[in-house]
Amino acid sequence: MSPSGLPDRRRLVRAGTRLLQASILAILVVGLYTRNVGIVVNAAIAFATTFVPAIIERDLRIELDARFTLWITLALFLHALGMLGFYHQVGWYDRLTHTLSAAVVATVGYVLARAIDDHSRAVVLTDRFLFVYVLVFTLGLGVLWEILEFGTALGARVLGLEPVLVQYGLWDTLGDLLFDMFGALVAAAVATERVSSAVDSLRRGLDRHEPDGDSPLRPIAHERSAVASLDEVVRRDRTNARRSWLVVGVLALVVVGAVATGAVPFAVPVAIVVALALVPPVAYGDPRATLPWQLLALPALPVFGGVFAQPWLAATPLVYVAVAAVALTVAVELHLFTAVRMTPTFAVLLVVVTTMAAAGLWAVGRWLVDLTLGTHFLLDPGLTGDEIETRLLWEFVYAAAAGLFAGVLFEWRFRRG
């Protein structure tokens, strides 16, 4: 009992967590009794996941706030409960679970980033950056979840089995992403200020592991001798400068030509690439201070594909490789010219997540514009809803693959120095 005569709040929270775990286990039993594979798999994974916080506390010696654990367990319980029929029978239930789950994911992303920020001198994250980071992190993982649902559906179809994760159509997929963003906004605006104890606990855990160098987050939080710093990305050698200026000059001509012919939507993203390329030489007052020409060439490929009518250069995978290159450029320039500081590994992981988030944001943006203005950026009247959804989900797959490919490429390039 507490001095006030009331039961200890922490014990009540832990009791609530145990009750939710028992409820998930009961849902698993229902799935076994009815021989419903979807219920069994989802409930089993949810039940196993509820023990992750305890494993973190035991093995990493990082104490987590009991309320945070309860919040995670509640989201897992509601998802498992939805498999009993609520997802299909109650229209708003899916929106509720996605909003809550997105808020949990956003909070986890915030806690990880803020703890690394407090722990490491090599990583400095401003409040404004963290707000955007939370949104990107959540939306990126939301897209990854849609890919997992799509992948399990394809696998089940090939094997002739019942899908473990169910998709309910195009509007469900886009609505999920929209409510993912809403949940992330709620967490970024409200919840992140209420998890300081979790941040402090994780930071103390990282500090405790520092002397042994065995922290799983060490590659993200610290510079490594084998990896070049982001400070070294901008070069000052003449050969790179000549090639970079050549790429920038061609892109600038494309912008002028596109504006002259009225193709403003095509000109805008190209102009953004040109503007980003001009930041280092202008900031340093040195025309030789340029980004690697290869980093500028990647976003130029889809542009050349559009200009020279070469569809293979403007294919969706290459477009998202270009998005990843732009994301890395932004990360480097934030590191160099603002108060934000990142390690190369942190920047690479940010690029991977940002590429997936860009695909999700682009999908939701096209959908909302089509609904509002009656356009057909996404909602092609010549295709069925299922065909549009399949095409969109393959776009998500390409975005994830492009982000991963670019991340591996950038990490390899950083290791070369």
Query: pLDDT by residue (tens digit) across 367-395?
Result: 999 999 999 999 999 999 889 999 999 99
227 has a pLDDT exceeding 50: no
Domain identity same for 86 and 227? no
For the stretch 112-171, pLDDT in tens is 888 888 888 888 899 899 989 999 999 999 999 899 888 888 887 887 777 777 677 888
Q: Is the dihedral of CA 110, 116, 119, 121 positive or negative?
A: negative
Q: What pLDDT score was predicted for residue 359?
A: 94
What average pLDDT does this structure show over 194-198? 72
What average pLDDT does this structure show over 238-266? 92
Give how far Cα 114 sits from Cα of 119, 131, 203, 349, 398, Å.
8, 11, 8, 16, 30
Q: Which amino acid is at 86?
A: F
Domain presence at residue 101:
no
Looking at residue 193, the DSSP 8-state letter turns out to be G
Q: Write down which residue in 43, 67, 90 finishes a domain.
A: 90
268 has a pLDDT exceeding 90: yes
For the stretch 274-318, pLDDT in tens is 999 999 999 999 999 999 998 999 999 999 888 887 888 888 889
Q: What pLDDT score was predicted for residue 6?
A: 45
Return d(Cα 230, Cα 237) in angstroms, integer. Answer: 17
Backbone phi, psi, residue 124, to 5°? -130, 120
Q: Could you tell me which of 333, 347, 346 has the C-alpha nearest to residue 291?
A: 333
Domain identity same for 79 and 228? no
For the stretch 51-105, pLDDT in tens is 888 887 777 666 777 777 888 899 899 988 988 888 888 878 888 888 888 888 8
Domain presence at residue 274:
yes
192 has a pLDDT exceeding 80: no
Quick check: 258 and 266 in contact, CB under 8 A?
yes
What DSSP assignment string belongs to 106-168?
Answer: HHHHHHHHHHHHHH-SS-B--HHHHHHHHHHHHHHHHHHHHHHHHHHHHHHHHHT---SS---
Domain presence at residue 113:
no
330 has a pLDDT exceeding 90: yes
Domain presence at residue 240:
yes
Quick check: 268 and 319 in contact, CB under 8 A?
no
- Count of domains in the chain? 2
Give how far Cα 367 sits from Cα of 111, 147, 174, 389, Å.
32, 18, 8, 11
Return d(Cα 331, Cα 340) in angstroms, integer. Answer: 9
Q: Write down which residue in 48, 65, 90 finishes a domain.
A: 90
Domain identity same for 86 and 228? no
3-state secondary structure of 341: strand
Measure CA of the first residue to CA of the last residue in the chain; give whole Å.
59
Q: pLDDT category, 28, cuts 50, 70, 90? A: very high
Q: What pLDDT score was predicted for residue 7?
A: 54
Return d(Cα 289, Cα 236) in angstroms, integer. Answer: 5
Quick check: 251 and 303 in contact, CB under 8 A?
yes
Q: How many helices (H) and strands (E) does the chain have?
A: 16, 0
Q: What pLDDT score was predicted for residue 285?
A: 92
Indicate the average pLDDT of the chain.
85
Task: Please list, in sequence order, all residues whose beta carbon lies within 8 angstroms of the beta carbon of residue 391, skipping any fewer than 6 positions away.
Answer: 383
What average pLDDT does this structure show over 324-353? 91
Domain presence at residue 323:
yes
Domain identity same for 252 and 401? yes
Q: What pLDDT score was predicted for residue 416?
A: 60
Q: pLDDT category, 345, cuts 50, 70, 90? A: confident
Return d(Cα 32, Cα 230) in angstroms, integer. Answer: 52
Q: Which of these ranges, 77-86, 209-218, 349-358, 402-411, has the smallest mean pLDDT?
A: 209-218
Q: What pLDDT score was predicted for residue 367?
A: 93
Instruction: Give percent of the chain with pLDDT exceeding 90.
Output: 39
Q: Which residue has the tokens 């090599």?
A: 122
Q: pLDDT category, 226, cuts 50, 70, 90? A: very low
Q: Write down which residue in 90, 121, 145 finishes a domain.
A: 90
Q: Which amino acid is at 183?
A: G
Q: What pLDDT score was predicted for residue 94?
A: 84
Return d(Cα 145, Cα 33) in angstroms, integer. Answer: 28
Domain presence at residue 122:
no
Quick check: 27 and 87 in contact, CB under 8 A?
no
Q: Which residue has the tokens 């990647």?
A: 298
Domain presence at residue 378:
yes
Domain presence at residue 98:
no
Quick check: 289 and 234 in contact, CB under 8 A?
yes
Q: pLDDT category, 366, cuts 50, 70, 90? A: very high
Q: What pLDDT score was predicted for residue 372?
A: 93
- Range of the structural domain that residue 401 is part of: 220-416
